[in-house]
């Protein structure tokens, strides 16, 4: 018997009619469609070695049990993409914002040469869902038998790939095809509240997970966006584009910028790449938005790469003062040895 999926879940309708943050969202499980994300499938005999030579993390560690955060850089160490690399059966997948997917495929394709590698956009073939909230792990235990508990732990069963994402609140990403989604929905339907993808975006910000969009390509080195603190860079693997710059900053220098969380009273989220300034006559550039989202309190939550020399000064964006969470700053604060 075929299951009838609601339009927002099947993707045949947008999710604009759904709330960003349903009432009592902090005590309920939310389910979101993650249409803002795309998937690149990497296949061929040389697929893993190809990615190992291209990305900042050790792709050899990606397995059916473990996904990872990683990045694609220019030779100067500037990030072209931040990706979640995962394995679904015998296929390697790279997940990233959909608006940066085609430029990333184009960049990777330049290096394929004679390698036995095929890069495909499979965003329309697989559904990406976000499950957020208390006891989400127990719910998935009941459905799949065993939900991963470790950060970026992964499990694929019955056509459903589950990845545990970082955060204080349990949250999982579910990747599945049409048939698996039809099988999954009846088991989820009475256990979740539908919400827009904004809810997932907010949890990414709260977990301190950076992203690179088409508008912010080549703006940051991995350390500025804290990717080294998030296990998104391996300093033991071999060469990849930008490796010399990234390694030199790690071993010989200290980043002069780091990513911080913040809040600001604006009506709409500032776009990636928008500049934050010191609130004085000089309007010195203090930082740059990485990602931003509405917050249930009515203001905007954001992540921004900030100049460490500026973070204790009054900062504004869009004419409004911002609050920065400096409590999570790593110990290095000196402006030495860092690329500008």
- Residue corresponding to tokens 């604060």: 333
The helix (H) or strand (E) run that includes residue 35 is none
> pLDDT tens digits for 77-118?
999 999 999 999 999 999 999 999 999 999 999 999 999 999
Residue 169 DSSP one-character state: S
Tell me the average pLDDT of the chain.
92
The verdict on residue 139 lying in a domain is yes
Q: Give dist(CA 21, CA 174) in Å, integer.
A: 20
The answer to whether residues 256 and 307 touch, using CB atoms and an 8 Å cutoff, is: yes
The verdict on residue 122 lying in a domain is yes
**Would you state the pLDDT for residue 9?**
85
Residues of the chain with confidence (pLDDT) below 70:
1-3, 25, 281-282, 330-340
> pLDDT tens digits for 121-154?
999 999 999 999 999 999 999 999 889 999 999 9
Q: Give dist(CA 90, CA 13) in Å, integer.
A: 31
The verdict on residue 252 lying in a domain is no
Which CATH number fits the domain that encloses residue 159? Answer: 3.30.1360.120
The answer to whether residues 64 and 152 touch, using CB atoms and an 8 Å cutoff, is: no
**Would you state the pLDDT for residue 339?**
53
Range of the domain at 87: 20-206
**Would you state the pLDDT for residue 333?**
53
The answer to whether residues 73 and 157 touch, using CB atoms and an 8 Å cutoff, is: no
For the chain, the domain total comes to 1
The verdict on residue 116 lying in a domain is yes
**Would you state the pLDDT for residue 301?**
98
**Would you state the pLDDT for residue 1?**
43
The pTM for the full model equals: 0.94
Residue 165 DSSP one-character state: P
The answer to whether residues 205 and 291 touch, using CB atoms and an 8 Å cutoff, is: yes
């Amino acid at each position: 018997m075929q299951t009838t999926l609601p339009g927002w879940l099947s993707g045949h309708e947008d999710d604009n009619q759904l709330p960003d943050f349903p009432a009592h969202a902090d005590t309920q499980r939310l389910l979101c469609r993650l249409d803002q994300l795309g998937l690149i499938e990497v296949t061929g005999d040389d697929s893993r070695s190809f990615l190992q030579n291209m990305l900042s993390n050790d792709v050899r560690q990606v397995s059916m049990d473990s996904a990872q955060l990683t990045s694609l850089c220019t030779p100067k160490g500037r990030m072209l993409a931040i990706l979640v690399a995962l394995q679904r059966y015998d296929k390697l997948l790279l997940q990233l914002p959909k608006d940066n997917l085609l430029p990333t495929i184009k960049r990777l394709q330049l290096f394929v040469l004679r390698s036995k590698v095929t890069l495909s956009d499979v965003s329309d073939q697989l559904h990406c869902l976000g499950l957020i909230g208390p006891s989400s792990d127990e719910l998935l235990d009941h459905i799949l038998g065993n939900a991963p508990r470790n950060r970026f732990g992964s499990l694929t069963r019955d056509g459903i790939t589950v990845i545990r994402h970082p955060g204080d609140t349990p949250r999982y990403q579910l990747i599945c095809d049409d048939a698996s989604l039809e099988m999954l929905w009846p088991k989820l339907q009475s256990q979740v509240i539908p919400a827009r993808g904004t809810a997932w975006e907010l949890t990414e910000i709260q977990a301190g997970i950076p992203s690179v969009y088409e508008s912010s390509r080549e703006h940051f080195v991995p350390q500025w966006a804290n990717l080294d603190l998030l296990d998104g860079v391996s300093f033991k693997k071999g060469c990849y584009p930008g490796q010399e710059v990234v390694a030199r900053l790690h071993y010989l220098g200290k980043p002069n910028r780091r990513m911080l969380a913040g809040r600001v009273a604006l009506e709409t989220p500032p776009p990636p790449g928008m500049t934050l300034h010191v609130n004085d006559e000089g309007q010195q550039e203090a930082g740059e938005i990485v990602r931003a989202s509405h917050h249930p309190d009515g203001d905007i939550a954001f992540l921004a790469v900030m100049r460490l020399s500026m973070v204790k000064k009054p900062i504004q964006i869009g004419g409004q003062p911002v609050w920065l969470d400096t409590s999570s700053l790593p110990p290095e604060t000196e402006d030495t040895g860092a690329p500008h």
